Structure 1
Amino acid sequence: MIDFHCHLDLYPDPEAAATGAQQDQVSVLSVTTTPSAFTGTATLAAGRPMIRTALGLHPELAHERSHELPLFDELVCTTPFVGEIGLDGSSRFAQTRTVQAEVFTHILRSCCDVGGRILSIHSRGAVRATLDALRESPDAGIPVLHWFTGTARQAEKAIEQGCWFSVGTSMLISARGRELVAMFPRDRVLTETDGPFATHEDRTVVPSDVAVTQRLLAACWDIEPSQAQDLVASNLQALLASGAEDRSAARPGDEPPTT
């Protein structure tokens, strides 16, 4: 099973969350929200080969943590994964859109400078601006749009630009979400939880809850759950084989995830 977007460090007990993911044989991309959180979060992967750690600067924190961009530039060469990054167009963060754009542009350029990265991207309420920024930095790497909530036309544009998508249970339990997922190329879809921020049946999700996502994804695609699991696993291997992983230095405990 694959959880391509999870905030392991933000669970009440990160060690327990990481141990559970390893025991349940879930390949986890452990995303971070600030560069200063990366080194500590990466220790959760030590001795747990199912876990990889991404370097991020969340758009909701861009106005508070833009001073950490030099640290981002220093660390980006140590991991093939970058996330959570992106733009947030919700009204709550309307006053920070300029700095968000500056931070996102800087991050994309930094990724270009090191040969590209696999990117886990937040685009809530800002899909057009996100795609425009990606178009201006084509060498930044492979964009994986996390929890995509744009329009069908925006989904088409994202597909045209070569974007991938990570989908969770919340997308697949709504009719609109299923319509979007049905549009995505099946060979560019990964599963995610976005734990601990997402919930299912009134409880916080954990990485093993991607099993629920797989079942819902299989129903959306009209195939067997085992087929959906195999396809998503194949997609992950194709993504890792893209070459981005070979362009960075390995970190202790960061062996390639298995499926």
Structure 2
Amino acid sequence: MIDFHCHLDLYPDAEAIVDELERRRVGVLSVTTTPAAWTGTTRLAKGRPMIRTALGFHPELAGERYRELELFDRFLPETRFVGEVGLDGSPQHLHTWDAQTLVFDHVLTACERAGGKVLSVHSRRAASQVLECLDRHPGLDKVILHWFTGTKAELHRAVERGCWFSVGPAMLSGARGRSLVSEIAPNRLLVETDGPFAQSDRRPLNPWDVTHAIDGLADLWGTTRQGAAQVVRANESAVLTIGAQN
């Protein structure tokens, strides 16, 4: 099983987390929040084939870190995974909207030009705007919408575009999240934790807690845990295969 969106570098005991996930044979897409974090975060994955590191530029940090776009361009050839990137329309981040859109468009343009990138995209309170940006880059066909919280109309638009979706225990614990996930075809779903930000019982989720997301999907689909896991593993293989084609 693969946790398709986890901030490994932001756990206070990151090395211990990495050792444990390797013991448990759990894969991780280790997303970063700024290009400056790339070098240190890739060290966590050294010699650990279960971890893939994504080059990110979180929209919440775009306003203060936009000058790191040069670093983003420098490191992009080193990975086929990009995340966490996107837009955030929350009231506390609207004052950086211009910087967010500048950074996100730069990221999308660079990824489309490079080809073969798999993106993990943040779209909180900005789903329509994220989809508009993606529509301007039709060459990007490997987009995973992380913890999607848009409307059902926006969800259907993302589905029509061919987006994938990563969902975690936190999203599946609420009625609204379950309602949205029920609208997504099972063959477009992946699991995530968004640890250490997402929590369960007041503790940060760990990468191996993706099993709780499998339980949630099994319940939603009316199948067994084994049946849900089989579907998700097939989806993981599909994403990793399309990501490796270029």
Partner of 2:178: 178
**1:119, CA displacement in angstroms?**
0.3
1:98-135 residue CA offsets vs partner (Å, 9 max, x unmatched): 11001000000000111141000000000000000000
Gaps of at least 5 residues in structure 1 are 248-259
For residue 239 of structure 1, what is the aligned residue in structure 2? 239
Q: CA deviation at 1:230?
A: 1.2
Instruction: State the alpha-carbon separation in 1 of the partners of residues 241 and 214 from structure 2.
Output: 22
- Tell me the amino acid that sits aligned with residue 100 of structure 2: Q
Give 2:194's aligned amino acid. Answer: D
Counterpart mapping for 1:51-130 below 5 A: 51-130=51-130
Amino acid of the structure 1 residue aligned with 2:226? S
For 1:80 and 1:218, how far apart are their aligned partners in 2? 30
SS in 1 for 2:61: helix
1:141 Cα offset (Å): 4.1
1:217 to partner: Cα distance = 1.0
Aligned length: 246
Q: What SS class does the counterpart of residue 130 from structure 1 fall into? A: helix
SS in 1 for 2:142: strand
Q: Which residue of 1 aligns with 2:8?
A: 8
Give TM-score scaled by structure 1 length: 0.93
Kept after mapping to 2: 8 A contact 1:87/1:130:
yes
Structure 1 Cα separation of the partners of residues 13 and 113 of structure 2: 36
Name the structure 2 match of 1:146: 146
RMSD: 0.9
Secondary structure of 1:4's match? strand
Percent identical pairs in the alignment equals 51
Cα distance, 1:140 vs. partner?
3.0
Q: 1:25 touches 1:50 (CA, 8 Å); kept in 2?
A: yes
The letter for the 2-side match of 1:122 is: H
Could you list the per-position Cα deviations for residues 192-225 of structure 1 after superposition, in whole angstroms to 9, with x for gaps in the alignment?
Answer: 0000001011211101111111101110111100
| Unmatched tracts of structure 2, length 5 or more | none
Q: Return the TM-score normalized by structure 2.
A: 0.98
Please name the residue that 1:30 is paired with: 30
**Alpha-carbon distance in 1 for matches of 2:113, 2:40:** 25
Moved over 3 A (4+): none
Q: Cα distance, 1:61 vs. partner?
A: 0.3
Name 1:135's counterpart in structure 2: 135
8 Å CA contact 2:141, 2:162 repeated in 1: no
